[in-house]
Amino acid sequence: MTEYTLVHDAAQLVRNGDNGLDTVSGAAVAVEDGHVVAAGPTDEVVRAYPGENAVVAVDAGGKTVLPGFVDPHTHAVFAGDRADEFTDKLRGKTYQEIAAAGGGILRTVRAVREATRETLVENLLSQLDGMLAHGTTTAEVKSGYGLRPDTETKLLEAIREADDRHPIDLVPTFMGAHAVPDDWSTDDYVDHVIEDQLPVVADRGLAEFCDVFCEAGIFSVEQSRRILTAGRDYGLTPKVHAEEFERIGGAELAAELGAASADHLLEATAADAQALARADVVPVLLPGTAFALAADYADPDQFAAAGAEVAIATDFNPNCFSQSMEFAVDLACHGMRMEPGSAIRAATVGAAAAITRRDGLGRLREGHPGDLVIADVPDCEHLPYNFGVSTVETVLKAGEVVYD
């Protein structure tokens, strides 16, 4: 007899279709060998997969079942935190002023360089526990707090080890071009990333994507292009931190290179949105970052109007200290004014597209990964409606209960 997991009698099931959410009331999901084998009305599903024969049967009565969240933009592996900078920001200092005074990314770089790989693994595992408790079942994680060949690989090795040890699937991104270390000219450091970091990372198969902080005063469009093109030659798919503080052309660069995603986009224009949509680059909006910086939110409507599949992510990092995709969905609605269905789609299907998983991740349909969240709300509209609390009750990864 086959072994399967059954989640039944959900008040609402979010399946995700080619366009909309595709919801079913009074629904069940069966998962076998890690993949969905049936997802639809409970009576139909249990006819083929009866509860009494299931290895695990979960009664989701009165609750909503949705695909596990995909978090497509995090800097979740680091050492220390920067809580004191949060207070400085409340007193009026800007992100750039804090960085110029020796804080910000380079401060976390100093902490990471001193940390052992084991410490970084333990730190990441504990952050992943927090992410899982808020419904994340797949997450991208960037390096970028090492900025040397040995310390960038230390971070990427920590991601690999945490991936082996934790139910959340991790997707690694190399981001040696996250900041320019002290005592380097930007051009020399760009050469160093291309000649000394990328080859080691690529040879050892430690990353799938290559990302650059393309921003005024950090890496120019031309420098970003050099790094991302070199990365692409090594088989790493480009991603771009684009138009966060100033609009300098990062979104156009992402479109030109056929990047997987362009992220932040606080200052992006409608023309940028159209360029991204034409090139099938996923706009990844990070409402938590705008919230933490007290900046204006990105405008999701301009990306949707251009026909793009929008994604949202936490951007979890020491400057935006939130592991929670539930909170990202809350902010997408309450801050960016997305409708609940659009925000949930952006946190599942859209987010999967941002990490080039367009093969069914983020959808609960036959043949797709059996990653799902059971939330204690009667339908998905109630998820962001009820903000500031967690409604995630149970999380299944590949059909196995991994959080309860």
Binding-site positions: 73, 75, 82, 145, 178, 241, 244, 315, 317
Convert residues 71-100 into a mask of x (bound to ligand NIG by CB under 6 A) and - (unbound): ----x-------------------------
Convert residues 240-279 into a mask of x (bound to ligand NIG by CB under 6 A) and - (unbound): -x--x-----------------------------------
- Give min distance, CB of 315 to ligand NIG, in A: 5
* φ/ψ (deg, to 5) at 374: -110, 115
- Cβ distance to ligand NIG smaller for residue 29 or 285: 285
- Cβ atoms < 10 Å from Cβ of 201: 23
Using CB under 6 A as the binding rule, whether residue 16 contacts ligand NIG is answered as no
Using CB under 6 A as the binding rule, whether residue 176 contacts ligand NIG is answered as no
Kindly identify the residues of this chain, within the stretch 187-246, that bind ligand NIG according to CB under 6 A: 213, 241, 244
- 19's enclosing H/E stretch is none
Beta strands in 243-306 (DSSP E): 261-264, 282-285
Using CB under 6 A as the binding rule, whether residue 289 contacts ligand NIG is answered as yes
Closest CA to 368 of 24, 63, 68: 68
C-alpha span between 176 and 30 (Å, rounded): 42
Q: Indicate which single residue of 16, 123, 197, 317 sits in contact with ligand NIG (rule: CB under 6 A).
A: 317
- Cβ distance to ligand NIG smaller for residue 315 or 326: 315
- Cβ distance to ligand NIG smaller for residue 136 or 391: 136
C-alpha span between 151 and 30 (Å, rounded): 43
Give the DSSP per-residue string, 193-252. Answer: IIIIIHHHHHHTT--SEEEEEB-TTSB-HHHHHHHHHHHHHTTPEEEEEESSSS-SSHHH
Query: The tokens 């809580």 sit on which residue?
Result: 83
- Give min distance, CB of 104 to ligand NIG, in A: 5
Phi/psi class of residue 104: alpha, beta or left (left: φ > 0; alpha: ψ in -120 to 50)? Answer: left
Two tokens, residue 198: 């990328």
Convert residues 127-166 into a mask of x (bound to ligand NIG by CB under 6 A) and - (unbound): ----------------------------------------
Q: Indicate which single residue of 12, 108, 197, 314 sits in contact with ligand NIG (rule: CB under 6 A).
A: 108
- Give min distance, CB of 5 to ligand NIG, in A: 36
